[in-house]
């Protein structure tokens, strides 16, 4: 069968890059760079793509470490997304070195397919996922306007095809009170820390009555200067997460009310600023996911269905999935007891299992490119996207 021959070709094309892909992955792993500072990673990834005849544009969408690398001409335009930012102190504890190397591996593996079937592969370097949500800038700058469909694979402890992601935004909160001697004249002070504690207490009460998947979590970053001074200033940061964008709006207004209430009760003046950016929830394209699943299983991987107890985070891929049909599957590189964002997961991201994960992820994506380019398939993917 023609399609099977093409998939074999794609798989072989990825396999032939094994040594370089592992080297890329380890280089990024051993040189962790924080979000929007990923200069080395970008240089290595774009260098690899250029050597493989991709047309590279660096610093797109106003982000110096974002890039676009294109192979082929015309439509459809299939995007493969790379992340390469690390975490403070624990380096690649989220394994983004594997996301990056699998994306460029799939891009290069798709070349013989594009040569035969037409269309374009667009490898997109999407920096600053962890903190800044770099893809949000790229969506806003219109990078995805000319893209038909998008894929990214994240390392994990399980092979999952679809995983929900929560909509998420943050708020910075400050209360301004009045300092006073905490023993001699407490009645003359206004306690900004108590205002913050009231805000936390109100939010804790609210938490009892929010949807199960929603999350509100915060830290106090300023709680006063000394126990004998009534705190004149307090500050905190919260993240608010919700199963969908609409419920996120609703929660934002409820959290705002908790803050306003704490200000009224304490007499401390309130200032709060919601983040300009918000992570959208993930809209998983099931048609595309089914194709990817078949290909991952053909590589001998056992795929499991998502269960709520696996836990849900947020990703800026959610924002991409709202504008183009997308998938964000995961590839197993460690046993299920290993937790994400830990030194143990960082070690897995540079292990044999990590290397096999990156190669399988690249192969499954390149094989899925073959499926997407079959007559009528992209229409089916887009129909589902429009319907939901
Ligand atoms: Zn992460
Ligand atoms: Zn991650």
Give the Cβ contact number of residue 213 at 10 Å.
Answer: 15
Distance CA(231)–CA(222), nearest Å, equals: 9
Using CA atoms of 375, 377, 379, 382 in order, give the dihedral in degrees to the nearest 10. Answer: -160
Q: Please, which residues have CB less than 5 A from ligand 2, an ion? A: 94
Model pLDDT, residue 194: 98
| Ligand 1 midpoint to CA 265 (Å) | 38
| Ligand 1 midpoint to CA 337 (Å) | 17
Residue identified by tokens 């380019």 is: 373
Query: What residues contact residue 217 under an 8 Å CB cut-off, 6+ apart?
Result: 238, 239
**How many residues in total does the chain contain?**
388
**Percent of the chain residues past pLDDT 70, beyond the cut:** 100
| Ligand 1 midpoint to CA 17 (Å) | 27
| Ligand 1 midpoint to CA 135 (Å) | 14
End-to-end CA distance of the chain: 33
Say what the pTM is: 0.90
Model pLDDT, residue 132: 87
Measured CA distances, 24 to 102, 153, 256 (Å): 10, 16, 45
Model pLDDT, residue 315: 94
Model pLDDT, residue 1: 63
Distance CA(290)–CA(161), nearest Å, equals: 8
Q: Please, which residues have CB less than 5 A from ligand 1, an ion? A: 94
Model pLDDT, residue 224: 97
Give the Cβ contact number of residue 326 at 10 Å.
Answer: 27
Q: Which of the residues in the chain have pLDDT under 50?
A: none
Measured CA distances, 322 to 42, 84, 154, 218 (Å): 26, 22, 18, 27
The pairing of beta strand 149-151 with beta strand 326-327: parallel
Model pLDDT, residue 365: 98
**The two three-digit tokens of residue 292, written as one number:** 């990817």
| Ligand 1 midpoint to CA 205 (Å) | 29
């Amino acid at each position: 069968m023609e399609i099977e021959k093409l998939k074999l070709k794609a798989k072989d094309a990825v396999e032939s890059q094994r040594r370089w892909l592992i080297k890329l992955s380890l280089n990024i792993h051993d040189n962790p760079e924080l979000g929007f500072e990923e200069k080395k990673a970008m240089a290595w990834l774009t260098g690899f793509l250029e050597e493989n005849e991709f047309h590279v544009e660096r610093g797109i969408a106003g982000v110096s470490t974002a890039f676009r690398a294109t192979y082929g001409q015309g439509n459809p335009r299939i995007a493969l997304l790379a992340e390469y930012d690390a975490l403070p102190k624990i380096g690649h504890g989220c394994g983004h070195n594997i996301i990056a190397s699998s994306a460029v591996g799939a891009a290069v593996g798709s070349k013989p397919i594009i040569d035969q079937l037409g269309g374009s592969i667009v490898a997109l370097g999407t920096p600053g996922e962890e903190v800044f949500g770099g893809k949000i800038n790229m969506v806003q700058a219109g990078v995805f306007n000319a893209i038909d469909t998008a894929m990214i694979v994240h390392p994990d402890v399980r092979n999952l095809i679809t995983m929900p992601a929560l909509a998420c935004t943050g708020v910075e909160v400050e209360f301004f009170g009045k300092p006073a001697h905490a023993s001699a004249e407490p009645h003359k002070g206004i306690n900004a820390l108590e205002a913050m504690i009231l805000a936390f207490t109100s939010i804790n009460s609210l938490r009892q009555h929010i949807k199960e998947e929603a999350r509100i979590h915060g830290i106090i970053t300023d709680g006063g200067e000394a126990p004998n001074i009534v705190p004149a200033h307090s500050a905190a940061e919260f993240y608010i997460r919700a199963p969908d964008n609409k419920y996120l709006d609703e929660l934002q207004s409820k959290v705002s009310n908790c803050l306003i209430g704490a200000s009224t009760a304490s007499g401390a003046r309130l200032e709060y600023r919601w983040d300009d950016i918000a992570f959208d929830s993930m809209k998983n394209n099931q048609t595309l996911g089914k194709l990817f699943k078949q290909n991952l299983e053909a590589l001998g991987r056992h795929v499991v269905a998502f269960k709520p107890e696996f836990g849900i985070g947020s990703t800026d891929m959610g924002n991409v999935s709202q504008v183009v049909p997308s998938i964000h599957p995961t590839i197993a590189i460690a046993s299920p007891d290993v937790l994400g964002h830990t030194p143990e997961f960082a070690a897995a991201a540079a292990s044999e299992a990590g290397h096999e994960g990156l190669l399988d992820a690249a192969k499954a994506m390149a094989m899925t490119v073959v499926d997407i380019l079959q007559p009528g398939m992209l229409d089916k993917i887009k129909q589902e996207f429009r319907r939901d």
